[in-house]
Amino acid sequence: MNLIIDVGNSSVKLAVFDRGKLLHQQQMRGESHVEQVMEVCDRYPELERAIVSAVGELDEKMIKVLSVFCFVHMLDHKTKTPFKNSYATPQTLGADRIALATAAFYHNQKGNTLVIDAGTCITYDMVNDYGEYLGGSISPGLNMRYRALHEQTSNLPLLKFEAPFDFIGNSTQSSIQSGVINGICHEIDGVIDQYNSRFTDLTVILTGGDAHFLSKRLKNTIFALSNFLLEGLNHLLEYNKP
């Protein structure tokens, strides 16, 4: 039985897998997650291994407590992966992108797969039909774009995302909604078109916190899989069994 902890920029997610099946999932709140981790460990005493992926700030006390219950694998660029990593600077590759590439490799072996993670940032990661991770791109996510408009100007308000009524905004608020939402959708569709022009039979996976909202607004065919990163982390933990 495996414990998965994903420390993102905006939230911390925890999941329990048993033989590839997701048994438990939660989003942890607050600054310290020690008690929440202990509760899950008590609830699932069969836990043997854990993997921790961190792109956000890591709670070191949580790791110390977790190591009492089970073996802990800290994901980094030295972690063994099932795919060939052709990234030019593997030491700078984020743990989340390593996990997504792993999930892509197992989801579509011997196929071309583009993974789009729509979270704090939007990351694009490509694994080709030779099982090779090529890299991708990073751009600002939805909330980051709203904050940039507000913080980098004098008068624009800070908005929460909602679907624009029309692509032509007739007020400052509706213009921002149109610019952010339509802009990000056109970006994603444009990137997918670029990859489709180079890779045959491309499978596109959309995941991340904003995936559900964005998936309804894209013209390209995609698979929206909310637990894709967690599944990738579980695959990595299994692949790196001591």
Residues noted as catalytic: 96
Q: Does the annotation place 203 within a ligand binding site?
A: no
Q: Does the annotation place 42 within a ligand binding site?
A: no
Q: Does the annotation place 172 within a ligand binding site?
A: yes
What is the C-alpha to C-alpha distance for residues 152 and 173, in angstroms, rounded to an integer? 16
Query: Phi-psi region for residue 94, left (φ > 0), alpha (ψ -120 to 50) or beta?
Result: beta
Q: Does the annotation place 37 within a ligand binding site?
A: no
Longest alpha-carbon distance in the chain: 60
Angle formed by the axes of helices 142-151 and 172-198, nearest 10°: 140
**Sequence letter at residue 217:** R
Q: Does the annotation place 11 within a ligand binding site?
A: yes
Determine how β-strand 113-118 pairs with β-strand 203-207.
parallel
Q: Does the annotation place 97 within a ligand binding site?
A: yes
How are the residues of the chain apportioned to helix, strand and coil, as percentages rounded to the nearest 5? 35, 25, 35
Sign of the alpha-carbon torsion through 179, 225, 37, 101: negative
Q: Does the annotation place 120 within a ligand binding site?
A: yes
Q: Does the annotation place 193 within a ligand binding site?
A: no
What is the C-alpha to C-alpha distance for residues 222 and 215, in angstroms, rounded to an integer? 8
Q: Does the annotation place 129 within a ligand binding site?
A: no
Q: Does the annotation place 87 within a ligand binding site?
A: yes
Q: DSSP labels for 177-199?
A: HHHHHHHHHHHHHHHHHHHHHHS
Would you list which residues are annotated within the binding site for K(+)?
A: 117
Binding-site annotation: residue ranges for ATP? 6-13, 120
Task: List residues forming the annotated binding site.
Answer: 6-13, 87, 94-97, 117, 120, 172
